[in-house]
Amino acid sequence: MSPELPVILVTVTGRDTPGITSGLAAVLDEHQARLLDIGQSVIPPVLSLSLLFEIQASAREELLRSLQAFCVQMDLKLVFRTLTATELAEHPRFSPRASRFAVTLIAGQVPARALHRVAETLARHRFNIDEIQRLSEGHFGCVELLVSNLNPVDLAELKRELLALSREVGVDIAFQSEGLYRRAKRMIVFDLDSTLIQSEGIDELARELGRHDEVAAVTHAAMQGGMDYDESLRLRVEKLRGLTEAQIDAVYSRIELTPGAEELIRALKALGYRTALISGGFGCLAERIRSRLGIDRAFANELEMSQGRATGQVQLPIVNAHRKAELLEELARAEGIPLDQVIAVGDGANDLLMLEKAGLGIAFKAKPVLRQSADCALEQSSLSSILYLLGLSGRELQELLP
């Protein structure tokens, strides 16, 4: 961009028809204008197209007359203004110093109130909204804002505000750095219980022995972070003494996958992701879910069995919060994948370290202790909504999931 040349911003609006963009570009080319930026959106049937370009001062008026003549021919409205070098230099979109982020709103139907409150919050933190696009297909269920900022920002405070706002307006709001690694993730790791499946496996195993309520109470305390996980697991496994393989089969037969789990895994595999399941539950269930979904690897605790019955002991080492994080790191290293390119998804306190280790940690229908610490918190009914956080559009999802 030359400080000596006039910089012109032209915006045309009107009915969307073929040939508008090519015609405008042809006029710029004919007058040797140098294109600096372009943006176009269509909300049928109306198109809005903006062109930013610089031009020799002697050619400015003739170029504008040619653009106006083309717009009259195409029944378009044209407005323009000349910008100063200072205006452009101070705008985050043109500054290499700007920090850039993606803000994703997801709901059954994103209300105008949610968009207003999010935009208001971003403006208060001096963010500029560079682009807005609807990612969902056919309905306004997901909208993505690409934003930038030239000023120091307390990102932790902003995330806290957006999390509180998310609960207030009933819309999931994800805030992520916008850069190479957002769309370039290569591995995803899942918790099992209350994440890939809709129940807690250990509680259902206890149900077979008539001990569901006492085990579920301990599970609840452990997942909320109010109890040491290793101790809670030993207490619960003791209650499973005498459990038979037939009873394990019965529990597996009634397990329900979380809605969207099959679609999500299928899409991720089509995108070339490596997938893994790291569970604080039990391998007798985790391995079957791994096989059912086509997940690459599974790690979980192992019940000690003797003569076809559980002894009430768990094999060591226990897959606890620390072990989950270690396994994620070991998997990434074995696959040659940087941690920045790993996603982790979970719901309980024992998933916290795993989510912190990953480049993107997603709390899915999570307990408060995890929801407040994760990079993103989702309350959607379907796991497939995770794909929106990767910047995938509804149309792209339809291609992946025919």
- 289, 373: one domain: yes
Q: What is the pLDDT of residue 50?
A: 94
Rounded alpha-carbon distances, angstroms, from residue 318 to 8, 309, 314: 65, 20, 8
User: 4: pLDDT confidence band, cut at 50, 70 and 90?
Assistant: low
Query: What mean pLDDT comes out for the span 156-170?
Result: 93
- 157, 30: one domain: no
Residue 1 lies in a domain: no
Query: What is the token pair recorded at 298?
Result: 């599974």
Query: What is the token pair recorded at 258?
Result: 């979380």
- 280, 395: one domain: yes
386 contacts 366 by C-beta, under 8 angstroms: no
- 111, 131: one domain: yes
**Predicted model pTM:** 0.84
- 244, 349: one domain: yes
- pLDDT above 70: percentage of residues in the chain: 98
Residue 360 lies in a domain: yes
Query: Assign residue 44 a region: left if phi > 0, alpha if psi is -120 to 50, beta otherwise?
Result: beta
Residue 2 lies in a domain: no
- 75, 102: one domain: no
pLDDT digits (tens, 9 = 90+) for 198-208: 999 999 999 99
Q: What is the pLDDT of residue 278?
A: 97
CA 263 – CA 340 distance, rounded (Å): 24
Q: What is the pLDDT of residue 2?
A: 59
What mean pLDDT, rounded, does the chain reach? 92
User: 402: pLDDT confidence band, cut at 50, 70 and 90?
Assistant: low
Which residues are tagged catalytic? Answer: 191, 193
Structural domain span for residue 79: 7-89
